[in-house]
Homo-oligomer: A and B are copies of this chain.
Amino acid sequence: MGFSFRIEHHDPRCRARRATFQTPHGAVDLPGFMPVGTQGTVKGLTIDQLAATGAQMVLGNTYHLALRPGERVVAELGGLHGFMGWQGPVLTDSGGFQLFSLAAMTRINETGALFRSHIDGSLLELSPERAVEIQEALGSDVAMVLDQVVSLPGEQAALRDAAERTVRWAERCRAAHRRADQAQFGIVQGGLDERLRVECAARLARLDFAGYAVGGLSVGETPEEMYRVLEFTAPAMPEQKPRYLMGVGRPQDILAAIERGIDLFDCVMPTRNGRNAVAFTDEGPLRLRNLKFQRDVRPLEQGCPCAACRHSRGYLRHLFMAREMLGPVLLSIHNLTYYQRLLAGAREAIAADRFLAYQAEKRAGWTATATAGNRLDI
């Protein structure tokens, strides 16, 4: 029960590919989307509810788990799988993104980074070797190397320095890695710069990781800039390995990335928006707090099999107005189910050589509402 990656089918009209990634905890159908379980839980969902959304693989956050409850506690409680009670594949990030997003609390040099805990102010050191060690204790199926992210737009020199440090750190992570039942993925950096991205991808490829991620996107650039980066970065990544776009994104971003050859995604958007009363649908997002839903007997989306769609929009609105926990829970379930259905549809479309048509249909549905004056920038 090791790792393997098999491409089942290429859509001849674009770079989209239908693939399967096998891990010791089961297979992941690609393109696929991972819900984010930052602190060892996808917020508000039991494991059964999570499985019912169609999710196959979930993401855990090394930074958060190392601070609380600590990776030793997680290991004693059965590793991240046993801890969460999730028997499917798990991927952990390296904390690299938190070096960036929590930068005010961070000192970075070649050795690694020094964090100040957002919980109690205590100090946490995160070096490439330590990122490997924590993730091995967590016992995820896929561990990410420690990388350095730069906000966009960035100085060319800063982007080059970060990309080169990312490669050096990747080498150190590769050397430190021990667990045979854990795969390690490299992370391509380089901002919006084609030469930096392609060079970074080529140097990482030589380290022969089990998979490769595109990092440093969704950090300030426009969607069009992101798509352009994927246009030249994805083909520079090894063809016969899974390609993972970290932290992205909106439904339209995911389809655009699949078209350009990306296989795997994670994003907090379905759960975070769900907690905030925003539901994804094929006709664009619904803001459930709106008074117009007060007496609306329809489900969020006709034909959606999720637990939320057994209720009326009016009831779901009531839950949010009354500040009932069940509102965030049900909308998180709906949105995660929406993402999984979107990805399942993408896989079917690729297999039928009609991914571009699928993408166009979805975009038409989302845009129809936008032009009807309901546009939401999310």
Contact = CB atoms under 8 A, between A and B. Distances in A.
B78 A318 contact: no
Interface string A50-90: 00000000000000000011000100111000111100000
A35 interface: no
B330 A46 contact: yes
Contact of A326 (B41, B83, B326): B41
Contacts of A39: 318, 322, 324
A307 to B, nearest CB: 5
Contacts of A76: 295, 297, 314
Contact of A307 (B48, B82, B311): B48
Interface in A29-48: 39-41, 43-48
Contact of A314 (B49, B73, B324, B330): B73
Interface of A: 39-41, 43-49, 68-69, 73, 76-78, 82-85, 294-295, 297, 307, 310-312, 314-315, 318-319, 321-322, 324-326, 328-330
Given A40-B318, A41-B326, A85-B315, 7 more contacts: A40-B315, A41-B324, A47-B307, A68-B321, A76-B297, A77-B315, A325-B328
29 contacts: A39-B318, A39-B322, A39-B324, A40-B318, A41-B319, A41-B324, A43-B326, A44-B326, A44-B329, A45-B326, A46-B307, A46-B326, A47-B307, A48-B307, A68-B321, A69-B294, A69-B314, A73-B294, A73-B314, A76-B314, A77-B295, A77-B297, A82-B312, A83-B312, A83-B315, A83-B318, A84-B315, A85-B315, A325-B329
